[in-house]
């Protein structure tokens, strides 16, 4: 076991050597206190890895990114809110080229990358976005501003930073800004996550560890079961610290991504509760995933959570409807440590109902379903569905 | 082409020769004006066909029904509300046997069948249910009362009846009572539907036509994407009219079931709008079904319908996320007859947005997505998601 120490840091991206970031408001967002165009820049070209949405209609910035080919380096990421540049066709990609040409006239950059979030189906306001290049401070370290600028219906900004000390006395830093809220779903719905590190990590480790981290974090959360056109998790590494250890990096990356995923879920539109749906004893892991994600996506389960109804009927019914191998004589259901259903204990008595009710009143708890069919296990994370969700999504145009 | 004439009739089951029905309140439902136990009886044994939920945890009455074997006849269906008799294990089936034994002491019946809807996970109140046998009028023709007694969160009773005149001058009748609301989903969620006919229909036609009718009606509607433990569509035929023609019967059955499905959808919990999601040009019918049902189940699409937001972005994004073969340069989207998206017409101008808005203000309209990939077509039907849905499901214990 390699020794390392992970220490949380104040603030975000400014902790990482050689990285700069800032944001400004160019008039796409009415509230001028909050930016709508942000950047992340490294003083030397970075290796980059990214995981993108599984939506067939990937937005223009994702398609533009993929044109750079496999192992390109970059030193600049430009991010805008309020317009997703999605379903804009070849014109949407040309618009990015136009923006990048303008950027090249202002600043020496290598293979700049773009990322967008907002309304689908409208061309980017190129002039507005390019006007940012005259006012952005490319030597600033304003992580807060960047984190706030990329928000859509998020109610709070999401940023995290860690320092990792290795046993040889060297250390590296890692930090991220992230946005979520609404449309968060297994298979990475509308979320953007930008992770920067000064660790000297090889490109092949970046790809492997970013995918593994995504599978343990963003792919396990669900707000509403939809998957957007723009989801992106990106890892930038500039090697400035010269320190690296794979085990330590994997640990801190997983921790960082999991914490961000939980922040997204807590900020799910109108959500008040965070619930872990642990399915075990499934025939295999794939079946466990299927049942667990059916639970975290079920409207009836979500409204029962909001209503704090201890009845386990909707949980059982959702498992039965999920199509996985199950048997009501083998199934057990727990809320935290409280057994609320088993073959020999089917009817909920008043006392246990009262105990279950107290568990459900918490802001966080675990629903564990043991199917008793095999060894497959999977946990996904969901939130309740409140009046507020409907209000936000009826009134907000995505 | 065989000639026949389909005429709608007033009221419901009382139109069908040899059928009787009634309902009483035995104290399971607080509102004593509304029954909670109902029956449908035929004076001679009927052939019976049924389609049941795809939920693995089928409720006790469904498992009891299946113990009768393949081609049994029955003359009595007993239905209760407020308790689903689901997840009650072998005891739940024994409880039905106990109820049937008591019924046999009061009335001469052949293979009585039971059907239940309500809360999951509680044993039936046997004494209360059996107390109904002392007060029900087994010679009554109270279709209204029966239709009201089987309701759960339904806001109106659902019954329909038709007379079919054949070209040889003979005629038969068909009628149904039905309940829905909440949990209505492709693959038949919490809904009960009892269809009675005096047509002289062979058993093999009953099975074929009931399955075909279900596929064209109840399997195409979605309120919230959940599938319950108790869904049942049942067809009873006593042959009393001696009239029958397969083509005519198929037509009237499809019409009756489709109308009932639309009644269920209009009564979806908190729903205000009924939307047909027509997907065509898919690679094949299965892909069309997949995309269409993704649309009718999407929370973001449902809230956009409620918010009357004409932006087609959520429609496109949902199709892209559904996993079917599609291409944004081939896709077109219409609201009724209004083109709102195509490759050459991506951005919604003010005038068209205004037209789209007027279409969306209607209580019913059609969203048509042509994928341009092949010949597959499928239409499913959905409703909007309102504050009211969340309120009903947070407060109602299923």
pLDDT at A74 over 80: yes
pLDDT at B185 over 60: no
CA dist., res. A308 & res. A295, Å (int): 16
Cβ–Cβ of A320/B56 closer than 8 Å? yes
Which residues in chain A have their CB less than 8 angstroms from residue B321's CB?
54-56, 187, 226-228
Out of A353-357, B134-138, B312-316, give the one with best mean pLDDT. B134-138
The mean pLDDT of A239-244, rounded to a whole number, is 96
- The confidence score (pLDDT) of residue A184 equals 41
Shortest Cα distance from A271 to chain B (angstroms)? 12
Q: Tell me whether residue A393 is annotated as binding.
A: yes
Query: Could you give the percent of chain B with pLDDT greater than 90?
Result: 70
Which residues in chain B have their CB less than 8 angstroms from residue A309's CB?
394, 397
Q: Give the position of tokens 């907000």.
A: A396
Kindly indicate the confidence band of residue A183, based on its pLDDT and cuts at 50, 70 and 90.
very low
Closest CB from A121, A299, A329 relative to B347: A121
- Per DSSP, helices labelled H in chain B are 60-67, 89-106, 126-135, 143-149, 203-216, 246-266, 285-297, 299-306, 313-321, 350-360, 387-395
Kindly indicate the confidence band of residue B356, based on its pLDDT and cuts at 50, 70 and 90.
very high
Residue of chain A whose alpha carbon sits nearest to that of B349: A122
The residue of A219, A321, A352 whose CB has the most chain B CBs within 10 angstroms, and thus the best one to mutate to test that interface, is: A321
Kindly indicate the confidence band of residue A185, based on its pLDDT and cuts at 50, 70 and 90.
very low
Kindly indicate the confidence band of residue B2, based on its pLDDT and cuts at 50, 70 and 90.
low
Kindly indicate the confidence band of residue B347, based on its pLDDT and cuts at 50, 70 and 90.
confident
CA dist., res. A291 & res. A315, Å (int): 10
CA B368, B374, B375, B378 torsion-angle sign: negative
- The confidence score (pLDDT) of residue A175 equals 98
- The confidence score (pLDDT) of residue A2 equals 66
Q: Tell me whether residue A303 is annotated as binding.
A: no
pLDDT, averaged across chain B: 90
- The confidence score (pLDDT) of residue B53 equals 87
Kindly indicate the confidence band of residue B234, based on its pLDDT and cuts at 50, 70 and 90.
very high
Burial class, A144, CB count within 10 angstroms (exposed 0-12 / middle 13-18 / buried 19+): middle
**Interface check B27 vs A, CB under 8 A:** no
Are β-strands B274-282 and B376-383 bridged in parallel, bridged antiparallel, or unpaired?
Answer: antiparallel
Query: b or e along A252-285 (b: 16 or more beta carbons within 10 Å of the residue's beta carbon)?
Result: bbbbbbbbbbbbbbbbbbbbebbbbbbbbbbebe
Query: b or e along B115-145 (b: 16 or more beta carbons within 10 Å of the residue's beta carbon)?
Result: bbbbbbbbbbbeebbbbbbeebeeebbbbbb
**Interface check B86 vs A, CB under 8 A:** yes
Residue of chain A whose alpha carbon sits nearest to that of B229: A317
Q: Tell me whether residue A142 is annotated as binding.
A: no
Kindly indicate the confidence band of residue B264, based on its pLDDT and cuts at 50, 70 and 90.
confident
pLDDT at A63 over 80: yes
pLDDT at A196 over 70: yes
CA dist., res. A160 & res. A194, Å (int): 11
The two tokens of residue A382 are: 């969901």
If you write DSSP's letter for every residue of B13-54 in order, what string do you get? GGGSTTEEEEEE--SSSS-TTS-SEEEEEEEEEEEEEEEE--
pLDDT at A255 over 70: yes
Q: How do residues A317-339 score in pLDDT, each as one tens digit?
A: 899 989 999 999 999 999 999 99
Least confident span in A34-43, A116-125, A279-288: A116-125
Residue of chain B whose alpha carbon sits nearest to that of A313: B120
Query: Could you give the percent of chain B with pLDDT greater than 70?
Result: 92
Residue of chain B whose alpha carbon sits nearest to that of A295: B226
Least confident span in B28-32, B47-51, B330-334: B28-32
Which residues in chain A have their CB less than 8 angstroms from residue B57's CB?
316-317, 319-320, 326, 328
pLDDT at A392 over 80: no
Cβ–Cβ of A121/B387 closer than 8 Å? no
Kindly indicate the confidence band of residue A189, based on its pLDDT and cuts at 50, 70 and 90.
very low
Q: Is A219 helix (H, G, I), strand (E, B) or coil?
A: helix
- The confidence score (pLDDT) of residue A395 equals 57
Residues 122-161 of B with CB under 8 A from A: 122-123
| DSSP-assigned letter for residue B322 | T
Kindly indicate the confidence band of residue A155, based on its pLDDT and cuts at 50, 70 and 90.
confident
- The confidence score (pLDDT) of residue B197 equals 98
pLDDT at A58 over 80: yes
* A109, A138 Cβ separation under 8 angstroms: no
Shortest Cα distance from A342 to chain B (angstroms)? 10
Residue of chain B whose alpha carbon sits nearest to that of A341: B121
CA dist., res. A395 & res. B123, Å (int): 43
Which residues in chain B have their CB less than 8 angstroms from residue A313's CB?
84, 86-87, 119-121, 398
The mean pLDDT of A246-271, rounded to a whole number, is 89
- The confidence score (pLDDT) of residue A398 equals 40
**Interface check B165 vs A, CB under 8 A:** no
**Interface check B309 vs A, CB under 8 A:** yes
Cβ–Cβ of A311/B347 closer than 8 Å? no
Which residues in chain A have their CB less than 8 angstroms from residue B95's CB?
none
Shortest Cα distance from A112 to chain B (angstroms)? 25
The whole-angstrom distance between residue A389's C-alpha and the CA centroid of its chain comes to 19
Cβ–Cβ of B306/A346 closer than 8 Å? no
Does residue B2 or residue B84 have the better pLDDT?
A: B84
Kindly indicate the confidence band of residue A307, based on its pLDDT and cuts at 50, 70 and 90.
confident
Q: How do residues B113-162 score in pLDDT, each as one tens digit?
A: 999 998 888 999 999 999 999 999 999 999 999 999 999 878 899 999 99
Residues 39-68 of A with CB under 8 A from B: 54-58
Which residues in chain B have their CB less than 8 angstroms from residue A398's CB?
300, 311, 313-314, 317
How many other CB atoms sit within 10 Å of the CB of residue B200?
Answer: 18
- The confidence score (pLDDT) of residue B380 equals 93
- The confidence score (pLDDT) of residue A187 equals 37
At residue B63's C-alpha, the angle toward residues B61 and B68, to 5°, is 95
Cβ–Cβ of B57/A387 closer than 8 Å? no
Q: Tell me whether residue A214 is annotated as binding.
A: no
**Interface check B314 vs A, CB under 8 A:** yes
pLDDT, averaged across chain A: 90
What positions of B carry a catalytic annotation?
A: 190
pLDDT at B88 over 60: yes
Q: What are the C-alpha distances in Å from B276 to residues A67, A142, B188? A: 38, 48, 17
Maximum separation of any 2 CA atoms in chain A, in Å: 74
**Interface check B120 vs A, CB under 8 A:** yes
CA dist., res. B94 & res. B76, Å (int): 18
- The confidence score (pLDDT) of residue B270 equals 64
The residue of B282, B387, B390 whose CB has the most chain A CBs within 10 angstroms, and thus the best one to mutate to test that interface, is: B390
The mean pLDDT of A218-240, rounded to a whole number, is 85
The mean pLDDT of B205-209, rounded to a whole number, is 98
Set out the domains of chain B in order of their start, with CATH numbers: 4-266 (3.60.70.12), 274-395 (3.10.20.340)
pLDDT at A159 over 90: yes
CA dist., res. B326 & res. B304, Å (int): 22
* B67, B99 Cβ separation under 8 angstroms: no
- The confidence score (pLDDT) of residue B389 equals 56
The whole-angstrom distance between residue B304's C-alpha and the CA centroid of its chain comes to 25
Q: How do residues A93-122 score in pLDDT, each as one tens digit?
A: 999 999 999 999 999 999 999 999 988 889
The mean pLDDT of B249-278, rounded to a whole number, is 88
Q: Tell me whether residue A152 is annotated as binding.
A: yes
How many other CB atoms sit within 10 Å of the CB of residue B323?
Answer: 16
**Interface check B287 vs A, CB under 8 A:** no
**Interface check B362 vs A, CB under 8 A:** no
Please provide residue B335's backbone torsions phi and psi, each rounded to the nearest 5 degrees.
-105, 120
Q: In the sheet that B332-335 helps form, which strands lie side by side, from edge to edge? A: B221-222, B376-383, B274-282, B364-370, B332-335, B338-341
The mean pLDDT of A384-393, rounded to a whole number, is 62
Q: Give the position of tokens 């049924």.
A: B50
The two tokens of residue B278 are: 């027509």
Q: Tell me whether residue A368 is annotated as binding.
A: no
Q: Name the CA dihedral angle for B326, B332, B333, B336, rounded to a multiple of 10 degrees.
A: -140
**Interface check B330 vs A, CB under 8 A:** no
Residue of chain B whose alpha carbon sits nearest to that of A119: B313
Does residue A363 or residue A174 have the better pLDDT?
A: A174
């Amino acid at each position: 076991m390699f020794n390392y120490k992970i220490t949380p840091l104040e603030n975000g991206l400014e902790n990482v050597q050689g990285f700069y970031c800032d944001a400004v408001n160019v008039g796409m967002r009415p509230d001028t206190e909050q930016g709508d165009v942000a950047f992340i820049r490294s003083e030397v070209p970075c290796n980059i890895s990214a995981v993108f949405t599984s939506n067939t209609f990937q937005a223009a910035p994702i398609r533009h990114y993929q044109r750079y080919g496999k192992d390109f380096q970059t030193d600049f990421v430009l991010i805008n809110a309020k317009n997703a540049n999605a379903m804009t066709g070849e014109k949407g990609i040309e618009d990015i080229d136009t923006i990048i040409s303008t950027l090249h006239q202002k600043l020496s950059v290598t293979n700049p990358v773009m990322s967008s979030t907002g309304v689908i189906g409208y061309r980017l306001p190129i002039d507005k976005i390019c006007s940012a290049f005259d006012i952005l401070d490319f030597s600033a370290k304003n992580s807060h501003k960047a984190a706030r600028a990329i928000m859509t219906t998020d109610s709070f900004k999401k940023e995290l930073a860690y320092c990792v000390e290795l046993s040889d006395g060297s250390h590296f830093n890692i930090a991220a800004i992230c946005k979520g809220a609404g449309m968060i779903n297994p298979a990475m719905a509308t979320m953007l996550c930008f992770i920067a590190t000064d660790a000297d990590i090889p490109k092949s480790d970046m790809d492997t560890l970013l995918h593994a981290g995504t599978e343990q974090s963003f792919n396990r959360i669900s707000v509403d079961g939809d998957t957007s056109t723009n989801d992106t998790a990106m890892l930038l590494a500039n090697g400035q610290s010269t320190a690296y250890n794979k085990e330590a990096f994997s640990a801190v990356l997983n921790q960082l991504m999991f914490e961000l995923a939980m922040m997204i879920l807590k900020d799910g539109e109108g959500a008040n509760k965070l619930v872990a749906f642990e399915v075990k004893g499934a025939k295999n892991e794939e079946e466990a995933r299927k049942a667990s994600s059916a639970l975290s996506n079920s409207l009836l389960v979500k409204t029962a959570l909001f209503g704090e109804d201890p009845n386990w009927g909707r949980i059982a019914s959702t498992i039965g409807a999920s199509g996985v191998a199950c048997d009501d004589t083998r199934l057990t259901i727990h809320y935290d440590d409280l057994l609320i259903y088993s073959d020999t204990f089917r009817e909920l008595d008043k006392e246990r109902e009262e105990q279950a009710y107290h568990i459900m009143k918490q802001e966080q708890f675990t629903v564990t379903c043991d199917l008793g069919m095999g060894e497959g296990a999977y946990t996904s994370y969901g939130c309740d569905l409140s009046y507020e969700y409907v209000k936000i999504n009826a009134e907000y145009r995505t």
